[in-house]
Each structure stands twice: as C-alpha cells, then as structure tokens.
Amino acid sequence: MARLNYQHLYYFWMVAKSGTITRASDRLGLSQPTISSQIAAFEKTIGSQLFHKDGRRLMLTEAGRQIFDYAEQIFRLGEELNSSIRDRASANRCRVSVGVVNSLPKLVVYRLLNPYSPDNH
C-alpha cells in the first residue's frame, strides 16, 4: 500500500461521521465533487471500497468500518496533541508588569524590554 494520505483519511472520516457527502462538504467548506474525488482517490490507494449506498445515505463497508475505527483514534490523538500544545504554550507564559517613571525615554524602555517580549520567542 502507498503512503497514507491523511487529508484523504480526514475527508473519509468526515463523510463517514456525517453520513452523506453533502453534509460533509458543508462542514468542510468544500464542494461535493471535491470530496467525492478525494474519497475515490483514497479508495484507489487502499484498494478497497469504503462505502455502499443505502438510499441517500452512505454506509460503511467492512473495510470502511475498520478504517473508520483507526481514523477515530488518529484524529482523537491529534486533538489531544493540539490541546496539549495549547495548554503547554499558555502554561509557559507569565504576565509581567513594569513600572516606568515618566522621565525615562520610552524608546529606552522599549529597547530594554523588547528582548523579553513574547513576539521575540
């Protein structure tokens, strides 16, 4: 099997969760033909059909169910990673208040404090 395209996996996962390409395309902000072609490319890459139609809904095939279970874990872990990064970034910040007398030129204060600005890290 070729290297896994996580964008294809994400589109597949969204369609599987939504039940239809229409709902998934609305959630993703992409056109239906775009989603359909990405799913078709993913199916071609993995060599298995992922959905079968049941009326208007798309139902997962056996291969689709197996891949969906992995996708659930992958994207849950991805969200945990994002959350951990956000928490770490906010935990490393501290607020510092600096009092400066009016007689000290603002440009001097700026140059003294600029190396400690969060924008410089």
Q: Look at the pTM and tell me if it is higher than 0.85.
A: no
CA distances 22 to 9, 16, 45, 55, 104, Å, are: 17, 12, 23, 14, 62
How much is the pLDDT for 118? 67
**Structural domain spans, the chain:** 6-91
On whether the CB atoms of residues 14 and 27 are closer than 8 A, the answer is: yes
CATH topology of domain 6-91: Arc Repressor Mutant, subunit A (1.10.10)
pLDDT tens, N- to C-terminus, the chain (121 residues): 568 899 999 999 999 999 999 999 999 999 999 999 999 999 999 999 999 998 888 999 999 999 999 999 999 999 999 888 887 766 666 677 888 888 888 888 888 888 877 666 5
How much is the pLDDT for 109? 87
Burial class (CB in 10 A: 0-12, 13-18, 19+), 98: exposed
